[in-house]
A and B are shown apart, each in its own frame.
Chain A
Amino acid sequence: MPRIEESALPGVGIRYEFNTEDGRRIGVVHHRTGRRELFMCEPDDTDAAVVNMSLSEEESHALSEALGGSTVVANLANLQQQVEGLAIDWLMIDERSPYANRTIGDARIRTRSGVSVVAVLRGAQAFPAPGPDFAIQAGDTLVVVGTPEGIEQTQEILRTG
Chain B
Amino acid sequence: MDESALFLIELGTVVLALGVMARLAGRLGISPIPLYLIAGLALGEGGLIPVITSEDFIEFGAELGVIFLLLMLGLEYSARELVQGVRSVAAAGVADFVLNFTPGFATGLILDLGVVPSVFFGGVTYVSSTGIVAKLLGDLGWSGNRETPVVLSILVFEDLAMALLLPVLGVLALGSTLASAALTVGLAVAVIVVIISLVARSGDRIGSLVFHHSDEVSLLSLFGLTLLVGGLAEGVNISAAVGAFLVGIGVSGDSVGRARSLLTPLRDLFAAVFFVFFGLQTDPGDIPDVALAAIAVAIVTGLSKVAVGWWAARRVGIGHQGRLRTGALLVARGEFSIVIAGLAASMAVGQELAALSATYVLIMAVSGPIAAKLADARRPHVVLS
Contact = CB atoms under 8 A, between A and B. Distances in A.
A52 interface: yes
A26 B134 CA distance: 22
Contacts of B256: 32
Contacts, number: 103
B350 interface: no
Q: How extensive is the interface on chain B, given as a class?
A: 35 or more
A46 B149 contact: no
B1 interface: no
User: Shortest 5 CB-CB distances between A and B: which pairs?
Assistant: A39-B144, A49-B144, A52-B141, A47-B322, A11-B76
Interface string B182-216: 00000000000000000000010000000000000
A48 B137 contact: no
Interface stretch (B13-21, B95-103, B118-126, B375-383): B375-383
11 contacts: A8-B149, A10-B82, A10-B156, A11-B76, A32-B257, A45-B321, A45-B378, A49-B381, A50-B380, A51-B384, A52-B383
B238 interface: no
A29 to B, nearest CB: 5
B145 A11 contact: no
A62 interface: no
Given A32-B257, A47-B318, A52 B134 contact: no
Nearest to A38: B144
Contacts of B50: none
Contact of A11 (B130, B144, B257): B130
B148 interface: yes
B144 A17 contact: yes
Given A10-B77, A15-B149, A135 B144 contact: no
B84 interface: yes
A47 B321 contact: yes
Contacts of A40: 144
Nearest to B145: A48
Contacts of A11: 76-77, 81, 130, 134, 152, 155-156
Contacts of B77: 10-11
B140 to A, nearest CB: 9
A54 interface: yes
Interface of B: 76-77, 81-82, 84-85, 130, 134, 137, 141-149, 152-153, 155-156, 203, 253-254, 256-257, 318-319, 321-322, 325, 378-385
Interface residues of A, number: 33
A156 interface: no
Nearest to A135: B254
Contacts of B385: 52-54
B139 to A, nearest CB: 11
Given A50-B380, A52-B383, 4 more contacts: A10-B81, A12-B137, A47-B321, A48-B146
A102 B27 CA distance: 42
A24 to B, nearest CB: 12
Interface of A: 7-12, 15, 17, 25, 27, 29, 31-34, 37, 39-42, 45-54, 103, 106, 135
Nearest to B203: A106
A83 B206 CA distance: 45
A8 B81 contact: yes
A51 B254 contact: no
Contact of B145 (A34, A47, A106): A47
Contacts of B84: 8, 10
A133 B143 CA distance: 20
Contact of A10 (B76, B319, B325, B384): B76
A16 B327 CA distance: 24
Contacts of A31: 143
Contact of B146 (A29, A46, A106): A46
Nearest to B86: A10
Contacts of A47: 145-147, 318-319, 321-322
B137 A10 contact: no
Contact of B322 (A29, A48, A106): A48
B149 A9 contact: yes
In the complex, which of the residues A9, A29, A45 has the most CB atoms of chain B within 10 Å of its own CB atom?
A: A9
Interface centre among B81, B141, B142, B325, by most chain A C-beta atoms within 10 angstroms, is B141
A27 B144 CA distance: 7
Given A37-B144, A53-B384, A48 B325 contact: yes
Contacts of A34: 257
A35 B24 CA distance: 27
Contact of B153 (A10, A27, A52): A10
